[in-house]
Amino acid sequence: MKVIVSPNAFKHALSAFDVARAIQKGVLNVIQDAECILLPIGDGGDGTGDLLIQHLGAETIVIQAQDPFGNIIDTSFGYLRSEQLAIIEMCYASGIRLVTPDKLNPLYASSYGTGMLMKRSLDEGAKKIILGMGGSATVDGGMGILRALGIKFLTADEKEIIYPKELISLVTIDTSDIDKRLLECEVVVLCDVQNFLLGKEGAAAIFGPQKGATPEMVIALDQGLKNFSEVVSRSIGIDMATVSSGGTAGGAAAGLFAFIDAKLVNGIEYFLDLVDFDTAIKNSDVVITGEGSLDEQTLQGKGPFGVARRAKQNGVKVIGLAGKVDDPENKLKPWFDIIMCINKIHVDLTTALRNTENNLIVATSETILQAL
């Protein structure tokens, strides 16, 4: 029996690699001679870059860069020298993981450090940059990244803007010193959401609160991004507000699209193509995927849906495992042969997270037998 194990990470519990290993144990507990191929996935969220670095065999380059609040930290990116390909995780320099909850403040958090990583990758000779944008602490429309790459954002009195709270005062944008090497470098942004930049479903409203924004901050951030978008439209004729997935990473995707012609792609589809997933699943009997929650949002470009769709296209059965399953209208049913919540009884979140590995092993052993 050939089993493809392709889960996403279970947020706050296990990495995608650790989830895959737990599922493998569950399979081998009941089918000792099963062939398990571990292909953990990322859809652009936190950890996607690490997976690509491992899948592609890229080296890790360690540098110093700014964290979201300007502190100098050691961080890194992946570089596949033979392909002149850089793999950068926004969360490594501009991530919420770098900030204690009491220090979160998106009015002052900058993505500048991610721009420093991009600039260093250009120094290494990169002609292509893949940028995973999950887990950011910022809602700055990518202004910090763009500043690190040479663009200046100015007020009416030509004072340079640094913080997102100042975007409301933006009047002019000076691109004369932009790093010209970007003209010969393809930038690909992996997106796992489809949100636009502004409004009730925009970067500030949807993602601001998880980055520490109060309701008042959300309003201020959205107004700043709106002004940013309007100035960009007047300056270079690109409407950041209408870019699908432009709200990714606090609007950074929209900013990179506008100024460096970044390609915003569906993260999971791009990932699966890059690791040649379709070839891997040929002649397999079942694919096991999952993440922390399987719900209607899963169908909006999340990793498990991408895996399930590819499996169905190849006539392969699909098992979906999750810490939480919320599908009252059975919208997931056409894509998954079996869906199981790994938490059998109602438990508090802390307990559920602590028991994730064991629960995955047990749930896999049960569902793999059902799939036979």
pLDDT of residue 369: 81
Pair (87, 127) in one structural domain = yes
Give me the domain span that covers residue 147. Answer: 48-268
Domain membership of residue 169 (yes or no) is yes
Residue, of 193 and 238, whose pLDDT is higher: 238
Average pLDDT over all residues of the chain: 95
| Cα–Cα distance measured from residue 99 to residue 103, given in angstroms and rounded to the nearest whole number | 6
- Which band of pLDDT confidence, cut at 50, 70 and 90, is reported for residue 73? very high
pLDDT of residue 241: 96
- Which band of pLDDT confidence, cut at 50, 70 and 90, is reported for residue 359? very high
pLDDT of residue 193: 85
Last residue of a domain, one of 268, 295, 315: 268
Pair (150, 180) in one structural domain = yes
In the beta sheet, which residues pair with residue 95?
A: 136
pLDDT of residue 121: 98
Pair (249, 341) in one structural domain = no
- Which band of pLDDT confidence, cut at 50, 70 and 90, is reported for residue 297? confident
Domain membership of residue 189 (yes or no) is yes
All residues at 6 or more sequence positions from 92 whose CB lies less than 8 Å from its CB, including other chains: 49, 75, 76, 77, 114, 117
* Predicted confidence (pLDDT) per residue in 154-166, tens digit: 999 999 999 999 9
* Predicted confidence (pLDDT) per residue in 89-130, tens digit: 999 999 999 999 999 999 999 999 999 999 999 999 999 999
Pair (139, 241) in one structural domain = yes
Which CATH number goes with the domain that contains 221? 3.90.1510.10
Q: What DSSP character marks residue 160?
A: B
Domain membership of residue 127 (yes or no) is yes
Last residue of a domain, one of 244, 268, 292: 268
* Predicted confidence (pLDDT) per residue in 21-37, tens digit: 999 999 999 999 999 99
* Predicted confidence (pLDDT) per residue in 226-269, tens digit: 999 999 999 999 999 999 999 999 999 999 999 999 999 999 99
Domain membership of residue 274 (yes or no) is no
Which CATH number goes with the domain that contains 298? 3.40.50.10350
pLDDT of residue 284: 93
pLDDT tops 80 at residue 334: yes
Pair (22, 157) in one structural domain = no
Three-state DSSP class for residue 293: strand
Q: What is the CA radius of gyration of the chain?
A: 21
Last residue of a domain, one of 268, 288, 311: 268
Q: What is the mean pLDDT of residues 216-233?
A: 98
User: Among residues 15, 98, 90, 96, which one has the least CA distance to residue 49?
Assistant: 90
Pair (120, 232) in one structural domain = yes
Pair (144, 211) in one structural domain = yes
pLDDT tops 90 at residue 348: no
Domain membership of residue 137 (yes or no) is yes
Pair (95, 216) in one structural domain = yes
Pair (118, 222) in one structural domain = yes
Q: What DSSP character marks residue 204?
A: I
Order of strands across the sheet that contains 35-38: 35-38, 2-5, 286-295, 317-326, 338-341
If one counts the domains in the chain, the total is 2
pLDDT tops 80 at residue 206: yes
pLDDT of residue 372: 73
